[in-house]
Amino acid sequence: MSGSTSEFQQFMHQFEILTEALSSKIEQVAEGVVMVNEKLDRHMESSNRHFKMIDRQLIAVNAKLDEHTAKLDAHTAKLDEHTAKLDEHTAKLDAHTAKLDEHSAKLDEHSEQFRSVNSRIDRLREEMHKESDETRALIKISYVELDRRMTTVEESLAMLSRRVDAIEART
């Protein structure tokens, strides 16, 4: 029996050595997991700060867009007022035209005045069209800038992801 007790003691001794080695390796893996978690937490904090910054920028862009929309609405209201006034003037011109048809002799005297009014109406229409085109161009620029910023954010996020992958690959 002393032979089997000796073998058993030797087996137990080897088992304890293996258990200690295994415990040491488990501790190393646990430390590695903690380090990766800390790195991931730092990355998440950085990403959250970055996203908050992007959110602030988007809020600013939205505020600008709201501002431009409000201005566009104000211009539209003014255009509506001008259109109503032009409609009133058109009605008056129609009445005058009827009178002018009755008084053809006076038509030659007043024709230059009507050309001037028509020219002003055309200029107003051209100016309104130009302002509308400029406003649309500003809105397009805002969308292009927003798209450029989103592309930059996506590229930054992809770069950060590659860095995290590279860091995780090293550990």
Alpha helices in the chain (DSSP H): 2-102, 104-170
Which one-letter amino acid corresponds to residue 60? A
* Region class of 103: left (phi > 0), else alpha (psi between -120 and 50), else beta: beta
pLDDT of residue 28: 92
- SS3 of residue 60 by DSSP: helix
Question: When comparing pLDDT for 65 and 128, which is higher?
Answer: 65
Q: What Rg, from alpha-carbon coordinates, does the chain have?
A: 40
Q: Which residue has the tokens 């809105």?
A: 139
pLDDT digit string, tens, across residues 34-72: 999 999 889 999 888 998 998 899 899 999 999 999 999
Cα separation of 30 and 19, whole Å? 16
User: What pLDDT, on a 0 to 100 scale, did the predictor assign at position 100?
Assistant: 63
Q: Residue 71's pLDDT is what?
A: 92
- The whole model's pTM is what? 0.34
What is the Cα–Cα distance from 58 to 49, expressed in whole angstroms?
14
Residue type for 111, please? S
Q: Which residue has the higher pLDDT, 145 or 106?
A: 145
Share of the chain above pLDDT 90, in %: 36
pLDDT of residue 170: 85
The reported pLDDT for the residue numbered 81 is 94
Distances (CA, A) of 8 to 4, 15, 23, 131: 6, 10, 22, 97
C-alpha–C-alpha distance, residues 120 and 93, integer Å: 14
Cα(32)–Cα(50) distance, rounded to whole angstroms? 27
pLDDT band at 73 (very low <50, low <70, confident <90, very high): very high
| Mean pLDDT computed over every residue of the chain | 86
Residue written as token pair 């959110």: 55
Per the CB < 8 A criterion, the answer to whether 68 and 138 are in contact is yes
Residues 121/86, Cβ–Cβ less than 8 Å: yes
- Write the pLDDT tens digit of every residue in 97-117: 788 678 776 556 567 777 887
pLDDT at 139 over 80: no
Residue for token pair 């903690």: 34
pLDDT of residue 32: 87
What's the confidence (pLDDT) of residue 153? Answer: 86
**Percent above pLDDT 70 for the chain:** 92
